[in-house]
Amino acid sequence: MKKILILAVAASSFLFACDKEKNKDKVYKSEEATLHNGKVWTSAKVDKDGKPVSVSIVVNDAALNSVPVGQPSDHMSPANNLLIPFSDKSGTPFKFAMVNWNSSGHEPDEIYTLPHFDFHFYTSTQAEVMNYMDETKLNAEPNAAYTPANHISGPGVPMMGKHYIDATSPELHNETFTQTFLFGSYDSKIVFWEPMITLQFLKNTTQFERALPQPAKFQQSGYYPTKMKINRHDGVTEISLTDFVSRQAS
């Protein structure tokens, strides 16, 4: 009888462990890319049903501590411009990340001229973005319903897209820039979501989250994020889009 009980308990424990493993979130990590003396990679987390939990750009401390500061920005140079794919199992429309390091920031002066990262989450492919060169398409704006309310546009940037920023963002109203969020388009289509974050804020932040402005309509069906989070732990900093909601194209 004792032997039967032991076997029954062992079988129960094994089934519980298998069930627990089956219900765990899955994480898909990209290969690591070099950023100065450190590394950057992407990760995508999905639940047991394959629905997205997060898509993240992960930067290790060695990268944050070695990026040059104060010299003229050259964010499109190979040393400061990384293109890293997201897993095709992410469950989201996001295909790759473009990570740009700006050692002296960029225009507009006195607003974004602090050392910072541009973290682009693209819904188009790398090949497509590298051909974003047509000036007419760069400056063609989508219908206003596809950008969140109060967003204003800047000029189109080749091999990147046209940027849209919330006109109510604090840094546009005499507050110091720490982090902000933008959208981008090409040929009248939204093609990226972009956290823009200073080096100082990343180094001084353990946990942070913010709600993301949402457009009234979406051009492509899929799961889209409603929050951006920063989580610094164990020598890495994760910049994540999270809290996904299913949207229908309209």
Q: What is the pLDDT of residues 187-243, one digit of tens each?
A: 999 999 999 999 999 999 999 999 999 999 999 999 999 999 999 999 999 999 999
pLDDT at residue 13 in the model: 53
pLDDT at residue 64 in the model: 98
Provide the pairing of β-strand 161-166 with 179-186.
antiparallel
Q: What are phi and psi of 156, to 5 degrees?
A: -70, 145
Share of the chain above pLDDT 90, in %: 85
Helix (H), strand (E) at residue 25: none
* Both structure tokens of 77: 């140079």
pLDDT at residue 15 in the model: 47
Residue 6 confidence (pLDDT) above 90 = no
Residues 74, 80 contacting (CB under 8 angstroms): yes
pLDDT at residue 75 in the model: 65
- Rg of the chain in Å (alpha carbons): 21
Q: pTM higher than 0.85, yes or no?
A: yes
Confidence band, pLDDT 50/70/90 cuts, at residue 18: very low
- CA–CA separation, 105 vs 200, rounded Å? 12
pLDDT at residue 21 in the model: 59
- Considering the chain, what is the average pLDDT of its residues? 92
Mean pLDDT of 66-90: 90
* Both structure tokens of 109: 């002066």
Residue 182: partners with Cβ closer than 8 Å, 6 or more residues away: 163, 164, 165, 193, 194, 196
Nearest 10 degrees: CA dihedral of 122, 33, 227, 137? Answer: -20
Digit-coded pLDDT (tens) for 124-175: 999 999 999 999 999 999 999 999 999 999 989 999 999 999 999 999 999 9
Digit-coded pLDDT (tens) for 24-64: 899 999 999 999 999 999 999 999 999 999 999 999 999 99
Q: How many residues does the chain have?
A: 250
Helix (H), strand (E) at residue 13: helix 2-22
